[in-house]
Structure 1
Amino acid sequence: MRIYHSISIAPFTTMLSFPTLLVFIAFACFCYLFKSQRPAQLQKARRPSLPPGPKPWPIVGNLPEFIKAKNETSVSHWIHSFMKEMNTEIACIRLGNVHVISVACPEISREFLKKQDAVFASRPLTMATDVVSKGYMTTAFSPFGNQWKKMRRVMVSELLSKARHRWIYKKRVEEADNLVRYVHNQCKNSDEGDLVNLRLVARHYCSNVMRKLIFNRRYFGEGKVDFGPGFEEEEYVDAVFAIFVRLYAFCISDYLPFLRGLDLEGHEKVMEEATRVLEKNHNPIIESRIQQWRDGKIDEPQDLLDVLVSLTDDNGTPLLSVNEIKAQINEIMIASVDNPSNVVEWALAEMLNKPETFQKAINELDNVVGKDRLVQEYDFPQLNYIKACLREAFRLHPVSPFNVPHKSVTDTTVAGYFIPKGSHVIVSRIRLGQNPKLWDEPCNFNPERHLQDRNKGEQVELEEPELRFFSFSRGRRGCPGVVLGSSMAIMSFARLLQGFEWDIPANQRTIDLSPGKRDSFLAKPLLAVAKPRLPPDVYSFPS
């Protein structure tokens, strides 16, 4: 059996029985007796109150409701439901001794992530992030401290600078061309078109781009004759998404760390297996490349791995250890595939159900680019409707219910509420993007709203600085790869629209837009019928 078929990307759903729950609570109570009391400053009588939320049980807080939610629906659904019932845009859930602060208001979100950015600049320690980052050696998953500062400088200054973005331009173009070639090979021999799995296309395009930029290769294995992913790439992308859905998946042991190792939910096993899939492909390349640099066989960087290996400190010694390089590459690959591929799949799904919107996007491409060449990155400034469609998909269908959590490094007050040190702050991507106070007809896919927002002559951008929705994470711990992620999303979306006619399969009237029960992806991968729409010579690429 293929390994990648055995790695499920759906969260663990095994029921915890009532007796098991009682034993669990009793064990938690026993362990609590050995914990020190809260710091004295938290007991001050006149401090502001915590944000509203469900009444916690003694000692265990809201863990019983939390466990019930995990078994019946999802924790995110439970949080959104009680926030709606309580009519609040900020809430506090206590899980064990951890205060989880959920936010669904742009003004309060800006106070957390902009005004008091320094206070919330750390990350929670979780089982999943510990495994994939090799003990917090990376950028996005590490708590605030010297290691994070070091790796952040490397990412911003060496890997994702404007100069580096220009340096890797040709590699991005190669993969954009391969995207069109791969889809064209699937439908070029049929007058009626052929069915194409757009989820697979979008995810593997993003994965191919990152492999090309980091390792200077498209495939770990041989690939396929139609230029699609081979066994190794399919296994690899499945592993990436298995990791992604578990990184901050409200695992019980993240709030009661003494339970780690028991693996009550099966998350640890899946994380370790999926990480092994990544590293069996990454590590031989990394180790060989390091040896080549040591032997003097390479003296100029050809890709981003070379950049990482060649960095030195003031004494001329390597700046990064082997494990730091391995861990950072794990993180880059996981963080770069999900968001662009998800927004492209959702945008295409919505637009297939709205032919007028679809045609407006096609008209813009034909007017700006024409039909005699493929869209290029220098066309992006003029493709405002294309970018408006992507912004609307980001708003309506975020890649995850909540933003990556922030952790407070000290006590503070936000929006008049007391936020204790160590609180985990999660911003609801769903409720921001679908907030009726911010958006007319918030559940309707309407790209025009983003054109109306801009000033005359202003370009549409995928970022949303005012946090009315999330495209990429914001603040000091925000995504450093916004430019790269934006270019991947715009390029794949524009090339798919320009290069092919797309139709709903004959056995369907509309595309089913139901999201997954326990994640934010489409419940079913998007399948659509593709036919070439450009002259044949446009599909000719160097071999």
Structure 2
Amino acid sequence: MAWLNSPAVELAFSLIFLWTIYRFVTTRKSKNNQGELGLPPGPRPWPVIGNLHLLGRLPHKSLAELANKYGHIMFLRWGSVPTVVASSPAMAKEFFKNHGLIFANKPPSATGRTYSDHELGGGKWFLQMVAEIMHLSGVIVVGDFIPSLAFLDWRGYCRRMQDARKVFDEFFDKLINEHVERRRSKKSDDPDIVDVLLDMAESETAEIQVSRIHMKAIIMDMLSAGVETSATTIEWAMTEMLRNPQVMARAQQEIELEVGRDRIVRESDLVNLDYLRCVVKETLRLHPPAPLLIPHESTQGCNVGGYYIPPKTRLLVNVWAIGRDESVWEDPLEFKPGRFIGSSIDVKGHQFEMLSFGTGRRQCPGIAMGLSVVHLAVAQLIHCFHWSVEGDLDRDEEFGLTVPRKFPIFALPSWRLTTNEPP
């Protein structure tokens, strides 16, 4: 029986003991002091890593598959972080409308920390860095869920985020300095958002003192959210219309009847382009820019859908899965803009079947601007040009805070208006 005293056996018994304690603790946590409600159903977590091993290259798809097994409210542990996933309009309403204040917090992230001076330097390649930051803001960083392993930065995400931040520092400083010089020379006749922020920074009566760091953070949010999400939606709209030429033909016909073929589309024309708006809605249903929205976190324990949700639990709403729910949409995998003709469903968070921009206290504040940009850009692209593409276009995705195409569209345009060039 000497083998019982071997180091390997001692290690095995130690691991079994720790696992037993871990399961006891997690089972006890499924009960709460507000009654006998348990945690929502979900896959059994592994020691240390929890359920992180279940997330594939496209987490929104992995979570949708798990929801098919465990239900529209599902509990997971990502490392040491409790996480609840809502995958239906009813559950989204429960969290956002009935418990919106409790889930108004934003959890910290290693790749999403506040912009700070000591991380900044100089750099170039602005547009590429916008895409880089949007990608890194949505990746799974092990250190966020297993803090003891944060120092490893296995895939280099934290280092890449710091490099991306440095790229923007020189750009933002130059932008702010140019505005300061124009204001000194009194040449700023057309104020913009930077001028507004400078007014707040110089005001002695403002309730909130705005520093240069605050200005950089606000400009960063506007650029990253405004540029990348709009570009992603435009690209998916073109992808779906190239895959469905009858949709593009109908949208082009509508624009021609309103605009003619002797000029480009103006923003004032958009109000009369009903089918174009349906095309954008259908694009946002199938390809929401942020498929899991921005993560939320509970400030206290609460009961949702007959289950107990502990405090400090992260909330993910899988709007990608909701947009493909057969109980909500007819032929959910088909691109059919006509489904929105005469429908009261919009994308502004009023109905929980469409939460492309979120809803409630954490809703995207740039909805109106973003939709205007997308509608006008898509209208110009299909009105001014014929498009041809060789072969079939795939729907392969690249996951981040937004989910763009994995590979850019390669399509050939040809001018279709009667004018030789845009007026």
Q: TM-score, normalised by structure 1?
A: 0.67
Pairing 1:491–2:385 present = no
- The correspondence of residues 343-492 of structure 1 with structure 2, limited to 5 A, is 343-454=233-344, 461-492=346-377
- The correspondence of residues 11-410 of structure 1 with structure 2, limited to 5 A, is 43-44=32-33, 46-57=35-46, 60=48, 63=49, 65-66=51-52, 68-69=53-54, 73-86=57-70, 88-130=71-113, 133-134=115-116, 235-290=125-180, 293=183, 295=184, 297=186, 302-311=191-200, 313=203, 315=205, 319-410=209-300
Structure with max Cα Rg: 2
Once the two structures are TM-superposed, the CA of residue 250 in structure 1 deviates from its matched residue by 2.4
Once the two structures are TM-superposed, the CA of residue 42 in structure 1 deviates from its matched residue by 7.0
Deviations 1:125-145 (A, max 9, x none): 1111105x339xxxxxxxxxx
Q: Where does structure 2 lack aligned partners over 5 or more consecutive residues?
A: 1-10, 118-122
Deviations 1:106-162 (A, max 9, x none): 01101211222111111001111105x339xxxxxxxxxxxxxxxxxxxxxxxxxxx
- How many residue pairs match? The answer is 398
SS class of match (1:394): helix
Change (3 A) 1:39 1:511: closer
Distance in 1, matches of 2:197 and 2:34, equals 52
Deviations 1:476-521 (A, max 9, x none): 011111110011110100011111111123xx2x322333478832
Distance in 1, matches of 2:238 and 2:300, equals 44
Once the two structures are TM-superposed, the CA of residue 300 in structure 1 deviates from its matched residue by 5.6
SS class of match (1:401): coil
Change (3 A) 1:534 1:41: closer
Change (3 A) 1:350 1:45: closer
Which amino acid in the other structure matches residue 350 of structure 1? Answer: E
Distance in 2, matches of 1:330 and 1:259, equals 29
Change (3 A) 1:316 1:526: closer
Change (3 A) 1:74 1:539: closer
Distance in 1, matches of 2:167 and 2:265, equals 35
Which amino acid in the other structure matches residue 527 of structure 1? Answer: F
Q: Percent same amino acid among aligned pairs? A: 26
Change (3 A) 1:391 1:269: same
CA RMSD of aligned residues (A): 3.2
SS class of match (1:124): coil
Once the two structures are TM-superposed, the CA of residue 439 in structure 1 deviates from its matched residue by 0.4
Distance in 2, matches of 1:54 and 1:111, equals 22
Distance in 2, matches of 1:285 and 1:297, equals 16
SS class of match (2:77): strand
Asked if structure 2 preserves the Cα contact closer than 8 Å seen for 1:93 and 1:101, the reply is yes
Change (3 A) 1:420 1:300: farther
Distance in 2, matches of 1:299 and 1:240, equals 27
Pairing 1:524–2:414 present = no
Once the two structures are TM-superposed, the CA of residue 447 in structure 1 deviates from its matched residue by 0.2
Once the two structures are TM-superposed, the CA of residue 536 in structure 1 deviates from its matched residue by 2.5
Q: TM-score, normalised by structure 2?
A: 0.85
Once the two structures are TM-superposed, the CA of residue 284 in structure 1 deviates from its matched residue by 2.1
Distance in 1, matches of 2:29 and 2:412, equals 64
Question: Partner of 2:5 in structure 1?
Answer: none
Asked if structure 2 preserves the Cα contact closer than 8 Å seen for 1:390 and 1:462, the reply is no
Deviations 1:255-312 (A, max 9, x none): 233433331231101101111112222222213434654x464666522111111125
Distance in 1, matches of 2:347 and 2:74, equals 28
Once the two structures are TM-superposed, the CA of residue 40 in structure 1 deviates from its matched residue by 10
